[in-house]
Amino acid sequence: TIGAMAGRMGLECYLIGGFVRDKIMGRPTKDVDIVCTGDGIALAHAVAATFPHRPHVSFFKNFGTAHFRYNGIDVEFVGARKESYAAHSRKPEVTEGTIEDDQRRRDLTINALAISLNSNNYGRLIDPFDGLGDIERKIIRTPLEPDTTFSDDPLRMMRAIRFAAQLGFAIVPEVFESIRRNRSRLKIVSQERITDELNKIMATPTPSIGLDLLYRSGLLQEFFPQMVALSGVEIVEGKGHKDNFYHTLQVIDNTAAKSDDLWLRWAALLHDIGKPATKKFEEGHGWTFHGHEVVGERMTPKIFRQLKLPQNEKMKYVAKLVALHLRPISLTKEDITDSAMRRLLFDAGEDLEDLMILCESDITSKNRQKVKRYLE
């Protein structure tokens, strides 16, 4: 329908982006993106008018995009664009372009694939940057020189890492080096867009993969220095402590293996966040992080504000789990009192099960089984 209507209007049109990538990879597809030469909004209206019940078309004139929902599928239309960026401006100059111009402004080769819907070459894959080969090789590359692609929109650096983590692809060294070089450019990107990508990484089955890439590329330091502060090991009088950054990654993975809840994963991410501020070396004893869970509880709202995460019940839940996470460990001591037990049950309330997942995921909780038995 879409191709035929575009033909009648004298436009070329193509399926593009994530839909094409996911179809080729055999992943479930969600939204459909259509790019056409000329007026995408007019095409969207014309197509919608041919469907029974005429879906409502919403559009943004300034961006030249239009969108409707049909049979539970989001269909988005955009006119093919050519973008050119001046060195010191964030806003590109946008002009009408060809399909190849539109593919050049995409973030990654695997996201720049198009399928023709035109009658003369219907179904043909248009792949000027060998995105198909990159899907087969399982690699992340940019359509243009990575420095160009990334400086045009620095969020693409995070997207490269997010797709590597989601798809299990490797970022080619040239691209990874470019991310390291351009990392400070992330500062011009809005926090909402950054956090969106971060949460997509947090939602992957093994969040440590993406988080470690963020750390090693230097991007994490740009927007979440408190987490980077967890890294490293100090040795005094021959005594070292564990690297709390890598420990935290392990706890997140263990938590992710047990639950899909994004906010429980955030609690895992923040469970030791108070440690750098409370770290002390006590002579004859060793390293202590006394009170770090209280500091962590206090830091949680600040971090939620900084990352523009919701300031609501979710945040309170995360802060509460951060504060409580060591309590079940203290319950394993031999002389545990009934009142301490009751307090934990009371404080954790309906989040008790989540608290237990968090504590069980913390591989340094030595007495996991004991805690479980107490609670049972």
Minimum CB separation of residue 44 from ligand ATP in Å reads 16
State the helix-helix crossing angle for 338-348 and 313-324, rounded to 10 degrees: 160
Our CB check for ligand ATP shows the closer of 96 and 347 to be 96
Our CB check for ligand ATP shows the closer of 31 and 243 to be 31
Our CB check for ligand ATP shows the closer of 166 and 367 to be 166
Tokens read off for 301: 């709202």
The reply to whether 107 sits near ligand ATP by the rule CB under 6 A is: yes
**What character string, x for contact with ligand ATP (CB under 6 A) and - otherwise, covers 201-240?**
----------------------------------------
Minimum CB separation of residue 18 from ligand ATP in Å reads 2
Minimum CB separation of residue 374 from ligand ATP in Å reads 42
Among all residues, whose Cβ is closest to ligand ATP? Answer: 18
Place of tokens 């690297």: 243
Q: Which of 141, 156, 265, 275 binds ligand ATP (CB under 6 A)?
A: 156
**Which of these segments, 79-87, 151-159, 240-248, 326-334, binds ligand ATP (CB under 6 A)?**
151-159
Minimum CB separation of residue 192 from ligand ATP in Å reads 13
Phi, psi at 76, each rounded to 5°: -115, 135
Taking the C-alpha atoms of residue 337 and residue 335, their distance in angstroms, rounded to an integer, is 6
Region class of 371: left (phi > 0), else alpha (psi between -120 and 50), else beta: alpha
Strand partners, 35: 14, 78
**Which of these segments, 34-42, 106-114, 299-307, 312-320, binds ligand ATP (CB under 6 A)?**
106-114
Q: Could you tell me the CA-to-CA distances from 33 to 21, 36, 79, 100 in Å, in that order?
A: 11, 10, 11, 15
Minimum CB separation of residue 110 from ligand ATP in Å reads 8
From the list 110, 89, 114, 90, the residue with the least C-alpha distance to 100 is 114
**What character string, x for contact with ligand ATP (CB under 6 A) and - otherwise, covers 15-54?**
--xx-----------x--x---------------------
Minimum CB separation of residue 203 from ligand ATP in Å reads 10
Minimum CB separation of residue 105 from ligand ATP in Å reads 6
The DSSP secondary-structure symbol of 153 reads -
Residue ranges with strand state E in the chain: 13-16, 32-36, 58-60, 65-70, 73-79, 81-84, 93-96, 114-116, 125-126, 139-140, 170-171, 235-236, 239-240, 280-282, 286-288
Our CB check for ligand ATP shows the closer of 182 and 300 to be 182
The reply to whether 106 sits near ligand ATP by the rule CB under 6 A is: yes
Q: Which of 109, 111, 151, 365 binds ligand ATP (CB under 6 A)?
A: 111
Q: Which of 15, 32, 44, 155 binds ligand ATP (CB under 6 A)?
A: 155
Taking the C-alpha atoms of residue 161 and residue 141, their distance in angstroms, rounded to an integer, is 11
Place of tokens 């020189």: 145
Encoded amino acid at 274, one letter: G
Our CB check for ligand ATP shows the closer of 156 and 185 to be 156
Minimum CB separation of residue 274 from ligand ATP in Å reads 33
Our CB check for ligand ATP shows the closer of 66 and 267 to be 66
Q: How far apart are the first and last CA of the chain?
A: 60
Helix (H, G, I), strand (E, B) or coil at 172: coil
From the list 165, 154, 163, 231, the residue with the least C-alpha distance to 191 is 154
Our CB check for ligand ATP shows the closer of 18 and 218 to be 18
Q: Which residues contribute to the site for ligand ATP (CB under 6 A)?
A: 17-18, 30, 33, 106-107, 111, 153, 155-156, 159
